[in-house]
């Protein structure tokens, strides 16, 4: 799940409240050491899911720095400056249930974890940032009690309609204490693609320790920093993602809160993620697996405990931009028409950083009806329903959510009728065979 969001831009300029919400983080989100090293600077970008309506196109649009730094003490990769979570996350445009492959992934996870932990009608599965109930619904089908915690009112409402009981709140130590007071102690705590979006990571992780039953397990999934770096996934950087994790750093963060990272799965979602398993320090029934030791060793071998490894990433990103522009310039000079597929947050980082507007991409399409008739932030590329691909017959289709490229190419198979070809922008611009 990508916990993306939107906000309505009612004012031409940032309101006083918005301005106040911008903080400059001169210190590490976790260990508080001063941040002095750049990981990558993607320039100025609008909030990547603030889709515009047509009457907003002629107004000023707030842009914020996308300057990512790395802590020299704990190697946490993080955005130096950010917009407050309350400002970003109160209404999402994103509904997790719009991706078939994500639903399949979630249903497989629920089968696996309920067997592994022998969850039943006496258990409680709690998901943090439970979105529209895309995952917890599968526990409900098995008769396993659930509680979602979700700050966005609109998606929480959809979850309730699916029978997924949902607490509409931000999660942290305070919320965890309230849950415990209500007898809501979790056998399983789930956090999928939420850790990156937490501005106060110590408060969030502390909350997990509070709400997790002794003997319980927490699993968290998030994109793996190693994959981001190796595969140039700079477009997964946006204002809503405050931090980017390696195993060695995340292990330190949880250890500081009395939680032991005892197992890890490497999974393919979001371009390469890891799922970590955590338990209380006192729970000796779950030994640390060789998978943890192996991945930790591979991260050391890849140099993730050395600053030089991080500071060379920038040049790789710039070269990726040059290659994508080179391809698009060539195609447009040949008179080819190029459309986009998808309007994900990552697309907006990419398009804004590369300066790709309607001069390169005529339009994009998306399955989410919320986005139809709106425009991408910054680049003002119009977003249409998917059927417009068939109607307008572009020569090339640039797949913005490249992590779903197989699913999308299969869905758009009919575009081959008129000889359309697909392009992925990451790790390097490439026309798919
Ligand atoms: Zn640090």
Report CA(303)–ligand 1 centroid distance (Å).
17
For 381-410, give one letter per residue: b (16+ CB within 10 A) or e: bbbbeeebbeeeebbbbbbbbbbbbebbbe
pLDDT for the residue numbered 89: 55
- Number of C-alpha atoms within 13 angstroms, CB side, residue 61? 24
pLDDT digits (tens, 9 = 90+) for 192-212: 999 998 989 999 999 999 999
**Which string of DSSP letters, residue by residue, matches 112-131?**
HHHHHTT--TT--EEEES-T
pLDDT digits (tens, 9 = 90+) for 278-335: 999 999 999 999 999 999 999 999 999 999 999 999 999 999 999 999 999 999 999 9
Report CA(253)–ligand 1 centroid distance (Å).
9
Report CA(31)–ligand 1 centroid distance (Å).
4
Helix (H) or strand (E) holding 111: helix 100-116
Distance CA(390)–CA(215), nearest Å, equals 54
Report CA(297)–ligand 1 centroid distance (Å).
20
Longest dimension (CA), the chain: 66
**Which string of DSSP letters, residue by residue, matches 210-250?**
HHEEEEEEEEEEEEBHHHHHHTT-GGG--TT--EEB-HHHH
Candidates 43, 423, 39; CA nearest to 249 is: 39
pLDDT for the residue numbered 49: 78
Report CA(41)–ligand 1 centroid distance (Å).
19
Q: Along the chain (433 residues), what's the average pLDDT of each consecutive run of 10 residues? A: 39 45 71 95 90 95 93 94 59 62 93 98 97 95 97 91 95 98 98 92 98 98 95 92 96 98 93 95 97 98 96 95 98 98 92 97 94 96 98 98 92 96 96 92
Average pLDDT in the chain: 91
pLDDT for the residue numbered 243: 95
Report CA(18)–ligand 1 centroid distance (Å).
27
Report CA(242)–ligand 1 centroid distance (Å).
13
Report CA(36)–ligand 1 centroid distance (Å).
11
Name the percent of the chain lying above pLDDT 90. Answer: 82
* The model's pTM: 0.86
Report CA(308)–ligand 1 centroid distance (Å).
16
In the beta sheet, which residues pair with residue 424?
430
In the beta sheet, which residues pair with residue 207?
none
Report CA(70)–ligand 1 centroid distance (Å).
8
Tally the residues of the chain: 433
pLDDT for the residue numbered 3: 39
């Amino acid at each position: 799940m990508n916990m993306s969001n939107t906000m309505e831009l009612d004012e031409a300029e940032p309101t006083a409240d918005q301005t106040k919400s911008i903080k400059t983080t001169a210190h590490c989100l976790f260990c508080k050491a001063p941040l002095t090293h750049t990981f990558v600077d993607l320039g100025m970008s609008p909030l990547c899911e603030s889709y515009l309506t047509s009457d907003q196109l002629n107004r000023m649009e707030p842009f914020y720095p996308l300057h990512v730094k790395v802590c020299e003490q704990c190697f946490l990769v993080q955005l130096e400056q950010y917009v407050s979570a309350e400002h970003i996350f109160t209404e999402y445009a994103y509904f997790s249930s719009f991706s078939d492959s994500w639903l399949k992934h979630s249903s497989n996870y629920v089968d696996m974890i309920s067997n592994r932990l022998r969850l039943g009608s006496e258990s409680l599965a709690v998901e943090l940032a439970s979105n529209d109930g895309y995952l917890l619904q599968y526990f409900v089908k098995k008769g396993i009690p659930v509680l979602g915690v979700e700050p966005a009112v609109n998606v929480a409402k959809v979850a309730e309609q699916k029978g997924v009981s949902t607490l509409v709140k931000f999660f942290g130590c305070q919320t965890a204490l309230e849950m415990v007071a209500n007898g809501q102690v979790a056998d399983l705590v789930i956090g999928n693609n939420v850790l990156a979006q937490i501005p106060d990571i110590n408060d969030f992780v502390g909350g997990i320790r509070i709400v997790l039953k002794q003997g319980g397990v927490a699993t968290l999934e998030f994109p793996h920093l190693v994959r981001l770096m190796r595969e140039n996934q700079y477009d997964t950087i946006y204002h809503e993602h405050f931090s980017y994790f390696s195993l060695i750093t995340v292990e330190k963060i949880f250890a500081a809160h009395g939680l032991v990272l005892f197992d890890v799965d490497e999974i393919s979602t979001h371009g390469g993620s890891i799922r970590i398993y955590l338990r209380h320090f006192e729970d000796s029934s779950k030994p640390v697996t060789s998978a943890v030791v192996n991945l930790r060793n591979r991260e050391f071998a890849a140099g993730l405990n050395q600053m030089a490894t991080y500071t060379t990433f920038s040049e790789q990103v710039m070269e990726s931009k040059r290659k994508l522009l080179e391809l698009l310039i060539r195609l447009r000079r040949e008179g080819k028409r190029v459309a986009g597929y998808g309007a994900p947050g990552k697309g907006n980082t990419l398009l804004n950083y590369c300066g790709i507007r309607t001069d390169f991409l005529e339009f994009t399409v998306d399955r989410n009806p919320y986005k139809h008739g709106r425009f991408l932030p910054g680049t003002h590329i119009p977003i249409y329903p998917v059927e417009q691909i068939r109607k307008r017959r572009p020569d090339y289709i640039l797949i913005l959510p490249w992590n779903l490229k197989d699913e999308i190419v299969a869905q758009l198979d009919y575009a081959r009728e008129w000889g359309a070809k697909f392009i992925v922008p990451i790790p390097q611009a490439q026309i798919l065979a």
